[in-house]
Amino acid sequence: MENFGHLLDGFATVISGHHLIIMVVGVMLGILVGVLPGLGAPNGVSLLLPLTFTMDPVSAIVLLSCMYWGALFGGSTTSILFNIPGEPSSVATTFDGYPMARSGQATRALTLAFVSAGIGAIAGVVMITLLSSWVAGFALQFSSPEFFAVYCLAFASFIGMGGNAPAKTLVSMMLGFALATIGMDTISGGLRLTFGVHDLIKGVSFLVAVMGLFGIGELLLTTEEGLRFEGIKTRIRPLDVLRTLAEIPRHAVAIGRSVLIGIWMGITPAGPTAASFMAYGITRRFARNASQFGKGDPSGIVSPESADHSAGTSALLPMLALGVPGSATAAVMMGGLMIWGLTPGPMLFIERPDFVWGLIASMYLGNIVAVLLVLSTVPLYAAILRVPFAIIGPIIVAVIFSGAYQIANSTFDMWLVLIFGVAGYVFKKLEYPIAPLVLAMVLGDKAEDAFRQSMLMSNGSLSIFWSNSLVASIMGLGILMLAWPLIGKVMGLRNHVRRSRQNPSTAS
Amino acid sequence: MSEENKRHLSRRAMEIATAIATAAAGGAICYGAIEIGIGWTETGPAPGYFPFYVGLLIIVGSLANLVRAISIRDWNTEIFLDIEHARPILAFALPLVGFMIATLLLGLYVATLLYVSGAMIWQGGYRWWVATLGGVAVAAAFYCIFEVAFQVPLLKGPIEGWLGIY
Amino acid sequence: MLKYLSVMALASAVAMPALAFEPNRPVEFVVTSGPGGGTDTFARTVQSIIAKHKLMDAPVVVTNKGGGSGAEGFVYAAGYKGDPYKLTFGTNNEYLLPSVAAVPYKAEDLTPVAAMALDEFLIWVNGKSDFSDAASFVQRAKAKPGSIQFGGSQSKDTDQILVSSLAEAVGTEFRYIPFKSGGEAATQLAGGHIDANVNNPNENRGQWQAGMVKPLCVFRPERFPESQPVYDGKGWHDIQTCKEAGIPLENYRMPRTVWLPAGAGEDVVAFYRDVLQKVSKMPEWQEYLEKTSQTDQFLVSDEFRGYVQKDKEAVTKVLEHEGWLIK
């Protein structure tokens, strides 16, 4: 209950006209940054850093963190409307968000995404409020073997049910692994698979691949079908927002589970991108009707969104409590903390409670402000779909390519986007699944680093992955996930048999 | 990419071409991996260990896809792309390549202006001055957002140089 | 009047040919680390001081190019031969990287402008570990070679080179586990998953405050200057130097360096040198150094070149010994 008192103090610090204005400004800038694919939340936050040098630390962190929330929301918008993830963590939202928007329900898709994201974020903050000290200790137990186990679990929960052509899933996923390998190798300190091409030293950016595979690939498919978005026919009614709100309780289970995944991934810290993929995969695995996934299933939207945002907010906890950033954006904010004269770490809670609890209070308020802001603009976003394709198409192309250039100031990346675009188009028409490629690209090099670090720790013995209860149980969970379809079949068969025994007439 | 007859590209041809392309990528990955060592040393796998098997799996998967492409009958008659659909794709893709080349020669802002206006004229049938206005508006918005507000420089060409914009 | 003005103009042109350069478009600060890294904080601190005291009229744009352990940024800058608007921020990785990895630039592709500070290295162990001082640590390491695990940032970079030099100096072996950043190495140490790390003061300060890690000794010729106590009544000044602890490795530091692309004119180098010199005199800079426990050391021209030469020679010996030099 001590924390509760601190939190009230925090609210007292933060609730003022000055701070509310900062929140609105931060969220709006964040949405802008999130919508534009080249500018990510880390860029946006680091660009605002110089502005904060003259502010007091509480106002500064309110501005930066609100920008972060805004960027997380903005990233989902373009995923749903144009199949272009503005942020890596909103890739999983495209799987069902974009099909739903295309079927004429853009308003519903956006509302679902924003509200579930808001719930995820608030859940993350509640966790920070109540459990900060315990959770920080939990995060410390994670070392390379545990990380490897977590990545395995993420893969296991997502893969295993690939479409009708397992070989295509295999090729797609392995290409993703190979792409993640390109560039500097952390463990050996040497370059890999760069084939003497200078522009490959920095590696192939995940965003470049995603913008090509999803964005340009989708535009090619759209033009083939006749240059227009399907969403054009629907009327946009503000009432739809309210109707969708009433629908949310039906997804409570999916949201609850995804929030837990998100919080876990945020604090360990495996990051929001892994969280959103894992939540999507697990929701699909436990869904009663998995065939609807990928075609606009509402729980396919709420799961990655709530996981993404709960991970995004929880990622600030290890930063505050341990001095370990849980995400790229948190790393930038930590740089800011140092410049403002604060030392991120366990003592921050004791030395500067006004700052820490002010920040936590602002996380509640900032996320509420963000949800209200984005919800009120839903009809506006959906209206973008009514702009003629001859205008919006080229603008999207220009945004994608300028974004690709911004990532590393390199025109090489723009050509890569084009190549990925053609590959995305061909893959989609030939039914190669793209999601495994993307997942492998995000987690591939991290998983490999964790594996090789573990091998260094254990002197090359694989038994390290079963060496303590934590790593062993995560590994076991992963194997369970991988085998789940099989278990499900066996269970289903048994039920089937039992039912047919009881009532032979309905069995056939 | 071989065309089985003049008017369309069959799905089988495309499947085969794609499988060959991915297999080639797998081969390149294996080659790159062998160069940096693919063994298992006493301190764990060498840098090329995982990439090598990743490349190998790509080759195996591609071969499976190749066999499948040849064996599935329906794909011979299924159309991947015909002339009718190829036209809009080319109408979209060629300006895209033009946009890239313009970017290299003139910088991103001018290329954006040309591309957006051009697409509005050719694909949307807008009048030239409406289209030009649209192009200028997008390029100007880019400049304000990226260059001024977020201080992210985009590629600039000779025209910005003459105008004294850096 | 006109005549007077033109004479004045002529006189000033003759009198100050060396200061002819003055940037008239945005200067790009190329940061060879990701956002939030040590080099990033360094560059952004310089940026903020320049902005606050208006030390330069042209605006500054910071771009992060930390790919390939910073090689991305150096290759990028090396590609702008003679461009006076690309100022690159790094450490000693500028001249280390080309020796250990096949990166497509040479150390000579960049012209040194200044080294602005020296970052320190310490041996840190977990706060609960039974090592009370550096001597007992070394003793254990010698008794069982290869049993102690050091974590550090990157591979064949400053951290691993130090661990390797340390092993050679005391005559034993350590295991080294590379992580993506010093921050990760800090967490792993706080969680007790590795035995030690050689982080910079700033990377472990927060954990030390909480007693989760503790310093054993610092690779610095003298102790840190007096300062506030950090944990358990001990401050930076109370940390032994490694030499005091009997480790024959007196000095190991990492310079915070600034570079221009090769071929930049002498006037250009002089201009930025003056700006950075002014930055280093500002109270905000002193505050930054104090907060991050770095050592104030402003090196330019021949002094800087000499430092680079010496550092390179020392490091190359280690690289050769370990067989890391690329042909």
Q: Is residue C248 part of a domain?
A: no
- Are C110 and C211 members of one domain? no
pLDDT digits (tens, 9 = 90+) for A296-316: 899 999 999 999 999 988 888
Q: Give chain C's residues under pLDDT 50.
A: 1-3, 5, 7-18
Provide the residue count of chain A.
508
- Are C317 and C214 members of one domain? no
Cβ of A174: how many Cβ atoms within 10 Å? 29
pLDDT at A501 over 70: no
Kindly indicate the confidence band of residue A268, based on its pLDDT and cuts at 50, 70 and 90.
confident
- Compute the nearest-CA separation of C176 from chain B (Å): 10
| Section B139-163 average pLDDT | 83
Count Cα atoms within 13 angstroms, Cβ side, for A130: 7
| Section B57-67 average pLDDT | 94
Query: What are the DSSP E strand ranges found in chain C?
Result: 27-31, 60-64, 86-90, 110-120, 122-126, 149-153, 175-179, 196-197, 213-218, 229-231, 234-235, 240-241, 253-261, 295-300
pLDDT of residue A326: 66
Q: Subunits touching B (CB < 8 Å, at least 3 pairs)?
A: A, C
User: In chain C, how many domains are there?
Assistant: 2
Q: What is the pTM of this model?
A: 0.86
- Are C38 and C91 members of one domain? yes
Q: Which position has the higher pLDDT, C295 or A317? A: C295
Check C28 against B153: CB less than 8 A apart: yes
Write out the H or E segment, with its range, that includes residue A329.
helix A328-339
* CATH number of the domain enclosing C261: 3.40.190.150
- Report the residue of B11, B34, B123 to disrupt the A interface, i.e. the one with the largest count of A CBs within 10 Å: B123
- Report the residue of A327, A453, A454 to disrupt the C interface, i.e. the one with the largest count of C CBs within 10 Å: A453
* CATH number of the domain enclosing C207: 3.40.190.10
- Are C106 and C139 members of one domain? no
Which of these three, C208, C238, C268, is where a domain ends?
C238
Check A453 against C177: CB less than 8 A apart: yes
Is A6:A353 a contact under the CB 8 Å cutoff?
yes
Quickly tell me which residue has 């056939």 as its tokens: A508
Q: Which position has the higher pLDDT, B17 or A316? A: B17
pLDDT of residue A487: 75
Question: Using H for helix, E for strand and C for coil, what is the string for chain B?
Answer: CCCCCCCEEEHHHHHHHHHHHHHHHHHHHHHHHHHHCCCEECCEECCCHHHHHHHHHHHHHHHHHHHHHHHCCHHHHCEEEEHHHHHHHHHHHHHHHHHHHHHHHHEHHHHHHHHHHHHHHHCCCCCHHHHHHHHHHHHHHHHHHHHHHCCCCCCECHHHHHHCCC
Q: Which residues of A358-393 are buried (b: 16+ CB within 10 A; e: fewer)?
A: bbbbbbbbbbebbbebbbebbbebbebbeebbbbbb
- Compute the nearest-CA separation of C281 from chain B (Å): 27
The answer, for A165 touching chain B at a CB cutoff of 8 Å, is yes
Check A189 against C35: CB less than 8 A apart: no
Of A46, A196, A347, nearest to C210 by CB-CB distance is: A347
Which of these three, C209, C238, C267, is where a domain ends?
C238
pLDDT of residue A236: 61
- Are C110 and C128 members of one domain? no
Is B4:B14 a contact under the CB 8 Å cutoff?
no
- Compute the nearest-CA separation of C286 from chain A (Å): 12
> What residues have CB less than 8 Å from A505, skipping those under 6 apart?
none
Is C61:C94 a contact under the CB 8 Å cutoff?
no
Task: Please report the ipTM that was assigned to this predicted complex.
Answer: 0.92
Report CA torsion sign: B135, B141, B143, B145: negative
Q: Is residue C193 part of a domain?
A: yes
Cα–Cα distance between A307 and A304 in angstroms, integer? 5
pLDDT at A232 over 60: no
Q: Is residue C246 part of a domain?
A: no
Is A139:A327 a contact under the CB 8 Å cutoff?
no
CA C163 to chain centre: 17
Q: Is residue C282 part of a domain?
A: yes
pLDDT at A285 over 90: no
- Are C145 and C230 members of one domain? yes
Of B45, B65, B80, nearest to A168 by CB-CB distance is: B65
Of B151, B152, B166, nearest to C25 by CB-CB distance is: B166
Instruction: Take residue C134 and report the two structure tokens written for it.
Output: 């550096």
**Residue C265, class by beta-carbon neighbours within 10 Å (0-12 exposed, 13-18 middle, 19+ buried)?**
middle
pLDDT of residue A224: 82
Put residue A499 in one of left, alpha, beta given phi > 0 → left and psi -120 to 50 → alpha. alpha
- Are C108 and C210 members of one domain? no
pLDDT of residue A162: 52
- Are C158 and C129 members of one domain? yes
Cα–Cα distance between C187 and C204 in angstroms, integer? 9
Q: Subunits touching C (CB < 8 Å, at least 3 pairs)?
A: A, B
Cα–Cα distance between A317 and A131 in angstroms, integer? 10
**What single-letter DSSP state applies at residue C144?**
S
pLDDT of residue C85: 92
pLDDT digits (tens, 9 = 90+) for A440-498: 888 888 899 999 999 999 888 889 998 889 899 989 988 888 887 777 677 766 666 66
- Are C40 and C80 members of one domain? yes
pLDDT at A505 over 60: no
Is A318:A326 a contact under the CB 8 Å cutoff?
yes
pLDDT digits (tens, 9 = 90+) for A57-85: 889 989 999 998 998 888 888 889 888 88
Chain C residues 26-85 with CB within 8 Å of chain B:
26, 28, 59, 61-63
Q: Is residue C161 part of a domain?
A: yes
- Compute the nearest-CA separation of B36 from chain C (Å): 12
- Are C204 and C138 members of one domain? yes
pLDDT of residue A364: 93
Q: Is residue C89 part of a domain?
A: yes
Q: Is residue C213 part of a domain?
A: yes
Alpha carbon distances (Å) from C208 to A269, A315, C231: 21, 22, 7
Chain A residues 203-242 with CB within 8 Å of chain B:
216, 219-220, 223-224, 226-227
Q: Is residue C2 part of a domain?
A: no
Q: Which residues of B70-108 are buried (b: 16+ CB within 10 A; e: fewer)?
A: eeeeebeeeebbeeebbebbeebbebbeebbebbeebbb
Range of the domain at C179: 122-238
